[in-house]
Homo-oligomer: A and B are copies of this chain.
Amino acid sequence: MINKLIKEITQKNAPIVVGLDPMLNYIPEHVQKKAYSEFGETLEGAAEAIWQYNKAIVDATYDLIPSVKPQIAMYEQFGIEGLKVFKRTVDYCKEKGLVVIGDIKRGDIGTTSAAYATGHLGKVTVGTKQYSLFDEDFVTVNPYLGTDGIKPFIDVCKEEKKGLFILVKTSNKSSGEFQDKLIDGRPLYEIVGEHVAKWGEEHMGDKYSYIGAVVGATYPEMGKVLRKIMPKSFILVPGYGAQGGKAEDLKPYFNEDGLGAIVNSSRGIIAAYKQEKYANFGEANFADASRQAVIDMIEDINGALGH
């Protein structure tokens, strides 16, 4: 999957990922109304609105982008009905040839981590049968519990040729509370980064490891250091756009081969029609606004990188 991700990034010349994080208040009123008229103001109605919204955005952008990153929390907040749409979205994006990064930030230990890995990347055995479940290509994972928590995920990744992005330095303001604490003069995120590099050696693709890292766009100085600590790890970079990260800040996240990072934008793409810049598309053409926002994002990033 890391090889496929790199191939898609290279062919489309677009080191980006679109975050499919639907909030009901992002979804144009006509989409919501239609869904509620069919299913009522119910969880099924909300799920249908999210599905129609996602599908329109994917249909309008899939030829330009290598990857999507659905944030499972936005689906889980609608319970079972929401999780059904999460699954439907994953399946649809895979049909469209996209690499799907499930932003699930799970993390536990032993058989429990193994169970998460099974549910999201692997297959579960029932009697003599095996079943795929959510079946993303990559998932994000939290490292706080250490190697015991990560290894069961890597084991399933090896079996399925899938991958992980492990939280190292997150994009939010308070991420420093624990992640920046100095240990023998070095911040915790560097120690975690070293572990990611080590874990990554266990599961290498052609040029990069299947085991990547999450490093926020909002901390480019730290991105520079982490790039060196984890030379073979792809970095998933949240925080571009809406969260304040700028294209010129992204350079340190890439290697000299022009690869090594994939930049996420969620709201900036999926709710583009709400921005003044794209207001001319009108709410009815929200998906076209998203397509234009993708084109602009690719140009912005490639410009800054000199690609």
Contact = CB atoms under 8 A, between A and B. Distances in A.
A126 B73 contact: no
Interface stretch (A57-65, A179-187, A202-210): A179-187
Given A24-B126, A183-B182, A78 B144 contact: no
Given A46-B126, A73-B106, A144 B79 contact: no
A80 interface: yes
Interface string A138-166: 00001111111100000000000000000
A174 B148 CA distance: 6
Contact of A124 (B46, B108, B174, B191): B46
Nearest to A170: B145
A305 interface: no
Interface string A95-134: 0000000000111111111011011100011111101011
A178 B188 contact: yes
Nearest to A129: B41
A71 interface: yes
A173 interface: yes
A32 B125 CA distance: 13
B133 A79 contact: yes
Interface stretch (A82-90, A251-259, A287-295): A82-90
Contacts of A177: 146-147, 195
Can you tell how many copies of this chain the complex includes?
Answer: 2
A111 B146 contact: no
Interface in A8-42: 21, 23-24, 32, 36, 41-42
A285 interface: no
Contacts of A108: 71, 73, 105
A45 interface: yes
A250 interface: no
Given A109-B172, A172-B110, A188-B178, A80 B84 contact: yes
A113 B172 CA distance: 12
A282 interface: no
Contacts of A82: 119, 133
B77 A124 contact: yes
A192 interface: yes
7 contacts: A32-B127, A41-B129, A73-B116, A76-B115, A83-B83, A146-B178, A182-B183
Report, nearest first, the 4 A-B pairs whose CB atoms are least far apart.
Answer: A41-B127, A146-B174, A79-B133, A146-B177
